[in-house]
Structure 1
Amino acid sequence: MTVDDRGPLTLPSEVRERYGDRYHLVQLPDGIKLIPVADDPLEALRDGFSDVEKTAVELRSAARAAALDAEN
């Protein structure tokens, strides 16, 4: 990969074909990380959590209870 004198990063076509054309760039203490962004991020979230059977309210309640148990 290369960065030209104006700053854009050129990704190989194999990378773009596999992960797409949009990325978040995250700065880490020892470098950077490119995280692919889905064409439809909401749909990607739905797909990623399709096996979760609890509602958001139930998940939040369970997380709150776990946090309170961790304090004790």
Structure 2
Amino acid sequence: MSVETDSHGRLYLSSELRQKYGEKFHIVEYEDRLELVPIDEDPLQAVREAAGDAFEGESIEELRERAREQAKEDAEAGFERGKRTAEGGNE
């Protein structure tokens, strides 16, 4: 399928494509092409469906707190590795 932009740079998708993929897209730019990636109307629900029951029963706030804790642990571990390397120790 080919489409062309209009004089304002807009792309028009057929109603069949919009019904199938939605009306919002991320545009991903590569060196040699662009890619349209559909944005789910409920991104959190899409993540929950993709992850299965891994987050079952956890609130958004609980997930955020867990992510913050993991990020802090990862940062501290990276800091310690860097410190050891700077001191001439092995990684």
TM-score by length of 2: 0.54
- Aligned residue pairs total 58
- Secondary structure at the aligned position of 1:7 is classed as coil
Partner in structure 1 of residue 78 of structure 2: none
Output the CA distance in 2 between the equivalents of 1:24 and 1:10: 15
Structure 1 alignment gaps of length 5 or more: 65-72
- Secondary structure at the aligned position of 1:3 is classed as coil
TM-score by length of 1: 0.67
Give the structure with the larger strand fraction.
Answer: 1
- Per-residue deviation at 1:33? 0.3
- Report the residue type matching 1:37 in the other structure: I
- Where does structure 1 differ by over 2 angstroms across 4 or more consecutive aligned residues? none
- Per-residue deviation at 1:25? 0.3
User: How large is the Cα RMSD of the aligned pairs?
Assistant: 2.0
Larger radius of gyration: 2
Partner in structure 2 of residue 6 of structure 1: 8
Identity %: 35
Partner in structure 2 of residue 22 of structure 1: 24
- Secondary structure at the aligned position of 1:9 is classed as coil
Output the CA distance in 2 between the equivalents of 1:2 and 1:21: 17
